[in-house]
Chains A and B, each alone.
Chain A
């Protein structure tokens, strides 16, 4: 089945130690999104790629970076994680910006910074 896969499901990292989360998709969707979701809160958009074009949200800290080497893969890099970055990170895809299908989400990576 076509899907969005995030690895790893759980990640523990030390304060200040760089960490990379990955997302892959078999849907051939051209838009990929990264959301941060803290406990019992709404997901917050960090940035997204439309094809190869990177679109950062205005309030996303510089500590968060992203790479998209090809259509199928997208990475979230946290250069120096702080305790406040402990959260679930959700990857989502969509076919273009419009359409009735919303997003397709991955299962998320739960990141704990210690």
Chain B
């Protein structure tokens, strides 16, 4: 079974600065997706950025970018020019793209989450 680990329970950053959230995962598969989700307090979980495992190029979405190291099974999220609205819990998630008859096919496996605080 796949596992996702976020080793930073909490992080903080000053407004306009850059912060990096860490995520590692364990899998024996070669075809999968990785996601970062943002969950503001009492609000909906929304997709921030995604990465296909077969793509070497790191995904970028405006101020959000990832550092995807497939061999090291590492998937960190960098937030540039941090804004107060970035304050939230961030979850790293893995989704298999292989139907091998196992029970994990198609399911999102989440890390434990990182609470990001942005200071004005």
CB-CB < 8 A to B111: which residues of A? Answer: 42
Q: Could you say which residues of chain A place their CB within 8 Å of the CB of B113?
A: 40-42
Contacts of A97 in B (CB 8 A): 99, 105-106
Question: How would residues 31 to 59 of chain A score, 1 for a CB under 8 Å from any chain B CB and 0 otherwise?
Answer: 10100000011110100100000000010
For the complex formed, measure the closest distance between the CB of A55 and the CB atoms of chain B, giving whole angstroms: 8
Are B107 and A105 neighbours in the complex by a CB distance under 8 Å? no
Q: By the criterion CB–CB under 8 Å, are B110 and A102 in contact?
A: no
Chain A: how many interface residues by the 8 Å CB criterion? 24
- Chain B residues with CB under 8 Å of A42's CB are 91, 110-113
Contact of A94 among B99, B106, B110 (CB under 8 A): B106
Q: Which residues of B contact A43 (CB under 8 A)?
A: 45, 91, 110
Other 19 A-B pairs with CB < 8 A, given A58-B103, A96-B106, A100-B52:
A41-B112, A42-B91, A42-B111, A42-B113, A43-B110, A45-B108, A48-B107, A94-B106, A97-B99, A97-B105, A98-B97, A98-B99, A101-B50, A102-B47, A102-B95, A102-B108, A105-B44, A105-B46, A107-B44
